[in-house]
Amino acid sequence: MSTTLQGPAIFLAQFAGDQAPFNSWPAITQWAASLGYRGVQVPTWDARLFDLDRAAESKTWCDEFAGIARENGVAITELSTHLQGQLVAVHPAYDEAFDAFAPEALRGRPAERQRWAVDQVLKVAKASQHLGLNASISFPGALAWPFLYPWPQRPAGLVEAAFDELAKRWTPILDAYDEAGVDIAFELHPGEDLHDGVTFDMLLERVGGHRRLNIAYDPSHFVLQQLDYLQFIDLYHDRIKVFHVKDAEFRPTGRQGVYGGFQSWQDRAGRFRSLGDGQVDFKAVFSKMAQYDFKGWAVLEWECCLKHPEQGAAEGALFIRDHIIRVTEKAFDDFAGGAADPAQLRRMLGLN
């Protein structure tokens, strides 16, 4: 039997702040529920909302944490380690830029920062298990990204060596997630070595098709890359475990294209938009999800460069709700059918 996907849900990372109702777990879950959300995706690095150390150590703490959300009308969809996952693999060119993702004491100490990041991601496996979750969302990090464009000419084996190292770093983490019964769904994203189907396959091959290496599907990143985001679902639906509902638009000009000319988000040809304001065909996306029986949550990730986040959140709940397809349990032409027997089938085929 097919499943109607769950939602609407919202990723809290872009909303957490120091002012109420965004500065505490009880308040932000009440706020999300008041807008019509039924689930929340949790940024595990934000201590205002989540205590990762306690979550990894104590199922009792996790039960209480989930209980607060449940009392306020929302479920926990997944735990996110976007920032920590990014730090599992960092090219030296980005050391200072990504230092802000780590505790201040680790800044300027990349080896210690990397060990801390791995420990953080491993703790989320335990925390997810304690919360009864079957998937988490993350970034894989990047070693080859500075060499994305083949100029200057890349030495033979450079990219292969980068992906070999990425596999070496993530394989023990994937194994730990397997023990916990939790998938890691990487958001395929520019700035990551895994940013499209080809690069995902490159890592998947190197980890022996590991069943815990999966995908967080976000069509907005594919619009900006000019990748067929609908065919992507056809190709990778069995690996899609998390679904970010985010809109985007790509409007190239005679002066600017995919690379964006180093412009701000507002001035780029490709930019993220609030749901319904961009170019993603969400009717087709949700149809594909229903076709392939996606069993997870539809989670708003708000990153619009124009609209206020609270307006985007309020509109997003209704948008997702209206796009969720209640999967049918019967065929539309059942009324015209009739009973059949083997003899009738042979007669109809002229086999008697």
Query: Dihedral, CA atoms, 154, 157, 162, 166, nearest 10 degrees?
Result: 150
**Residue 339 confidence (pLDDT):** 78
The pLDDT of residue 333 is: 66
pLDDT at residue 4 in the model: 92
List, for residues 214-252, the tens digit of each pLDDT value: 999 999 999 999 999 999 999 999 999 999 999 999 999
- How far is residue 133's CA from residue 246's CA, in Å, rounded to a whole number? 22
Token pair recorded at residue 32: 């999300």
| Through-space distance between the first and last CA atoms of the chain, rounded to whole angstroms | 36
| Close Cβ partners of 10 (under 8 Å, ≥ 6 residues apart) | 32, 35, 37, 39, 40, 41, 299, 300, 302, 313, 316, 317
d(CA 270, CA 220): 10
List, for residues 106-141, the tens digit of each pLDDT value: 999 999 999 999 999 999 999 999 999 999 999 999
Q: Give the model's pLDDT for residue 340.
A: 79
CB atoms within 10 A of CB 267: 12
Query: What are the residue ranges spanned by the domains of the chain?
Result: 6-348
- The answer to whether the peptide bond before residue 8 is cis (omega within 30 degrees of 0) is yes
Spell out the per-residue pLDDT of the chain, length 352, in tens. Answer: 678 999 999 999 999 999 999 999 999 999 999 999 999 999 999 999 999 999 999 999 999 999 999 999 999 999 999 999 999 999 999 999 999 999 999 999 999 999 999 999 999 999 999 999 999 999 999 999 999 999 999 999 999 999 999 999 999 999 999 999 999 999 999 999 999 999 999 999 999 999 999 999 999 999 999 999 999 999 999 999 999 999 999 999 999 999 999 999 999 999 999 999 999 999 999 999 999 999 999 999 999 999 999 999 999 999 999 999 999 877 766 656 777 789 999 999 999 7
CATH architecture for the domain at 6-348: Alpha-Beta Barrel (3.20)
pLDDT for the residue 1: 66
Q: How far is CA 49 from CA 64, 66, 227, 273, 281, in A?
A: 13, 12, 35, 26, 33
Q: 297 in helix, strand or coil? A: strand
CB within 8 Å of 14: residues ≥ 6 apart: 301, 302, 303, 309
pTM, 2 dp? 0.95
Neighbouring CB atoms inside 10 A of 79's CB total 24
Contact between 225 and 194 (Cβ < 8 Å):
no
